[in-house]
Amino acid sequence: MGPTRKRARIGNDDECREGKVAGALSAPDPDLEPFVELPFRGEHKKAVSAVSFAPINTTRVLCATSSADGSARIWDIDEVVNGGAKNTLESESPVQLQPKSVLYGHNGKGINDVAWSSSGEYAATASDDRTGRIWDVEKSTALIELKGHKNFVFTCRFNPRSSLIATGSFDETVKLWDVRTGDCVSTIVAHSNPVTAVDFNTDGTCIASGSYDGLVRIWDTATGECFKTVHAELNPPVASLKFSPNGRFLMAGTLDSKIRLYDVFHNQSSTDGSQPRGGKCAKTYQGGHKATRFCSFNAFLTANPDRKCVVTGSEDGKICLYDLQKRNIVQVLEGHTEPVLALDAHHSIELIASGGIKEDRWVKFWMPSNLVDRDNN
């Protein structure tokens, strides 16, 4: 899975002017139980590139993963999560999960990303074979091949209505595809370096794209026009993007070990009379994770109103939880032995999924300790 391993040279940039960085580890909240690793895990044959929980409206807790081994896998963890996972802290040998389904295709080439449709019936994958695919999750069958990129397809997302899929590629373009037909309906010449991340806002009217060129761009879905460009000082390569649940903010992870939260619909004033280029950087998160070589995912953890966090993997094998508002480190999770690039947080449950690379090919799950052994509480 060559693209995921691409190394980029970066320099240090200044803090966001709109908020001082707070990266110190805070004292644990006595009213909140810490996250612990659950006593079960999934496995791939090679590096785990992405993890993604099924949408909130699905009836079961499902997690999709993709890997350099050329497969995407669906894990049904509903019983163990909702039934309570007993004796986690004492367990020395985690139970190895069997996937609910395995999606094989892409000619054996590595899969870089996986995304769910809004109904949870379908999944999309992005691969080194220069294509995307749409899958029937229940039947484990490929329905449509998205063919047209000229280089590795690195990222994919459905729009909120699941009528379109956006893909980003190392050919420096973003393409929009009709989900029903698989036709490419738009090609956006988006960046001057590989596209590493795409995401739709909550109503699907905008697409965000990020790239190794250090730019985040916001596009009008209907016209393909760029109406906003965001970048940090010295343009560190962009590794990941995710719109906040309310659609106002955009979280951007960059290869300078920082995560920035942009108010992308806020127009910064210009000093030369030109049109405003970007949104206001509201917050910066740093000090608890390392990201200088690999593109890793970040997530919003907002299921518990008393513990709203930004969660990210790290190249030192850890997972860092930052307080969303205060920006301090809430907790650091240890359990992987290699860099953690694949990460997601569930929309309605305090549940985190993570995946390792190299020799650590495990898919792991994390919950607050008081939810783990509920039968004993």
- Output the pLDDT for position 12: 32
CA distances from 348 to 55, 197, 241, 351, 357 (A): 9, 24, 20, 8, 27
CA–CA dist 170, 155 (Å, integer)? 10
Mean pLDDT of 122-148: 97
Could you tell me if 3 and 154 are in contact, meaning their C-beta atoms sit under 8 angstroms apart? yes
Residues in the chain: 377
Domain 42-267+282-373, CATH: 2.130.10.10
CA-atom Rg of the chain in angstroms: 19
Mean pLDDT of the chain: 89
In degrees to the nearest 10, what's the CA dihedral of 244, 123, 297, 304? 50
CA–CA dist 363, 360 (Å, integer)? 9
For residue 120, give both structure tokens. 């949870």
Could you tell me if 49 and 295 are in contact, meaning their C-beta atoms sit under 8 angstroms apart? no
- Output the pLDDT for position 254: 98
Greatest C-alpha distance within the chain: 65
Q: What is the pLDDT of residues 8-52, one digit of tens each?
A: 322 233 334 334 445 666 666 778 999 999 999 999 999 999 999
- The structural domains of the chain, with segments of one domain joined by +, span 42-267+282-373
- Output the pLDDT for position 15: 39
Q: What is the pLDDT of residues 217-268, one digit of tens each?
A: 999 999 999 999 999 999 999 999 999 999 999 999 999 999 999 998 866 4
CA distances from 97 to 43, 74, 78 (A): 8, 11, 12
Compute how many other C-beta atoms are within 10 angstroms of the C-beta atom of residue 321. 25
Phi-psi region of 306 (alpha: psi -120 to 50; beta: other; left: phi over 0): alpha
Give which of 195, 94, 98 is closest to 152, Cα–Cα.
195
Place of tokens 């929980």: 53
- Output the pLDDT for position 278: 53
3-state DSSP: the chain helix, strand, coil percent, rounded to 5?
A: 5, 45, 50
DSSP 18-51: TS----PBPPPPTTSPPEEEEEEEEE-SS-EEEE
- Output the pLDDT for position 79: 84
What band does 80 get if pLDDT is binned at 50, 70 and 90? confident
What band does 330 get if pLDDT is binned at 50, 70 and 90? very high
- Output the pLDDT for position 92: 66
The model's pTM: 0.90
What band does 164 get if pLDDT is binned at 50, 70 and 90? very high
Compute how many other C-beta atoms are within 10 angstroms of the C-beta atom of residue 203. 11
Strand partners, 97: none
